[in-house]
């Protein structure tokens, strides 16, 4: 029916639905701001109950991170295929990892009231356990609002991709336990699912329900932290951190990072957050030398419950035969709670030397920290048969011990 022949709507007829008439604003006048929701109410609804996109114009631009986890329950047959020759559709874990990263970047297209954000980092890790594929996503930005939804979307899309990849073998694969574990930054501050104390305000409202206890990260989880003013400023790329992350993954650790931070206080903040989160292992690179900004050992010592001097000595000894300045590295190793923390030098040669040492005893040490046997399993002398990047490269051993 043409507009000319369409019956005119009675002016008294009410308008219903999500769309509402807007009062005209005189030219040059500022548009009225949407009414805020009642205190303690849902922020995405205005005082009249209409859906709205939260105005973040007046919020500060700050560094923000969020980590979410989830699981896909699968059959033993799928576990064997994922650990062995693979599934009919190919590399399920690599495909799911890429899908999760893409999902995080497309969150505003999927969740209508989310703000488009410039994501500065997305990591998605998948670990095959005896009964499931465990998924962890960490998202970072420097913006006016948080990235919890981006982290949840990354886990969700990765989980959907796992189901798609395994459904030919396991039609009952089940996605479960998708949730935010931690967030940092913003007006409401940091939030961790574990250890929330009772109280009022944002922290209390964010406290997890007792009926849904947190699933511990577990011993075989790791975080890599790179301490470097210049790498954090983008002057040059971080080279040591990716080497460590690659090695840890090859040794069977679900690994996040590298998280690049400036030297000094940011290192201690990153370590403290990692320990509170419950990683099994945290390995740092950089900041162990003698310059005024090399403060990684001081940041580490402040958090350790027990030092392991022999580990730091072995790492220094590994490099001494190639680079005499390895003796100047002040890196530490020790235990904070149930987290093993190890400082490696900042040079790629120093990182490789340190990895060569870690490969020999890391799983055994982690097992001991978590109450395991004092003796390695029969035939196990180190982190595994993967040579990884832990083998020293003579061409790269020159460099600062920091």
Choose, from 46, 55, 164, 238, the residue flagged as catalytic: 164
The CA distance from 315 to 323, in Å, is 12
- Cis status, amide bond into 10, omega within 30 of 0: no
Rounded CA-CA distance 95/160 in Å is: 11
Does the active-site annotation cover 164?
yes
d(CA 318, CA 350) in angstroms, rounded, equals 9
H helices of 111-199, in order, are: 148-166
Q: Identify the CA nearest to 331 among candidates 362, 360, 294.
A: 294
Strands (DSSP E) found in 207-311:
221-227, 254-261, 281-285, 306-307
Q: Do the strands 62-73 and 174-184 form a parallel or antiparallel pair, or are they unpaired?
A: antiparallel
HEC string of 94-123 equals HHHHHHHHHHHHCHHHHCCCCCCCCEEEEE
CB-CB neighbours of 12 under 10 Å? 5
| Residues found in the chain | 402
305-319: burial string, b at 16+ Cβ within 10 Å, e else: eeebeebbebbbebb
Closest CA to 70 of 190, 167, 166, 174: 174
Q: Which residues have a catalytic role annotated?
A: 164
């Amino acid at each position: 029916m043409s507009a000319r022949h369409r019956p005119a709507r009675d002016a008294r007829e009410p308008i219903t639905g999500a769309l509402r008439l807007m009062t005209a604003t005189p030219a040059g006048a500022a548009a009225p701001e949407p009414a805020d929701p009642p205190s303690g109410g849902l922020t995405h609804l205005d005082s009249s109950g209409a859906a709205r996109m939260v105005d973040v114009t007046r919020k500060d631009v700050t560094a923000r991170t969020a980590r979410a986890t989830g699981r896909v329950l699968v059959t033993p047959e799928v576990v064997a295929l994922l650990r062995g020759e693979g599934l009919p559709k190919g590399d399920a874990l690599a495909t799911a990892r890429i899908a999760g990263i893409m999902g995080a970047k497309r969150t505003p297209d999927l969740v209508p009231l989310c703000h488009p954000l410039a994501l500065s980092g997305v990591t998605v890790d998948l670990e095959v356990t005896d009964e499931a594929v465990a998924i962890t996503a960490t998202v970072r930005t420097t913006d006016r609002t948080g990235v919890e939804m981006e982290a949840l979307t990354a886990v969700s899309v990765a989980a959907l991709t796992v189901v798609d990849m395994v459904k030919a073998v396991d039609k009952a694969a089940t996605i479960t336990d998708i949730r935010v574990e931690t967030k940092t930054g913003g007006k409401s501050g940091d939030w961790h699912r574990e250890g929330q104390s009772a109280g009022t305000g944002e922290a209390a409202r964010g406290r997890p329900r007792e009926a849904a206890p947190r699933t511990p990260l577990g011993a075989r989880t790791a975080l890599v932290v790179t301490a470097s003013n210049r790498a954090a400023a983008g002057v040059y790329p971080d080279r040591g951190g990716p080497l460590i992350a690659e090695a840890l993954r090859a040794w069977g650790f679900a690994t996040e990072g590298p998280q690049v931070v400036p030297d000094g206080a940011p290192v201690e903040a990153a370590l403290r957050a990692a320990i509170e989160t419950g990683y099994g292992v945290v390995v740092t690179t950089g900041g162990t030398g003698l310059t005024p900004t090399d403060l990684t050992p001081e940041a580490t010592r402040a958090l350790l419950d027990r030092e392991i001097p022999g580990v730091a000595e072995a790492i220094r000894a590994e490099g001494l035969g190639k680079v005499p300045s390895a003796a100047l590295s002040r890196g530490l190793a020790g235990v904070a709670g149930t987290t093993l923390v190890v400082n490696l030098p900042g040079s790629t040669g120093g990182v490789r030397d340190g990895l060569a040492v870690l490969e020999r005893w890391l799983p055994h040490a982690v097992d001991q920290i978590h109450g395991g046997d004092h003796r390695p399993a029969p035939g196990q002398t180190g982190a595994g048969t993967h040579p990884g990047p832990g083998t020293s490269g003579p061409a790269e051993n020159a460099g600062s011990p920091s």
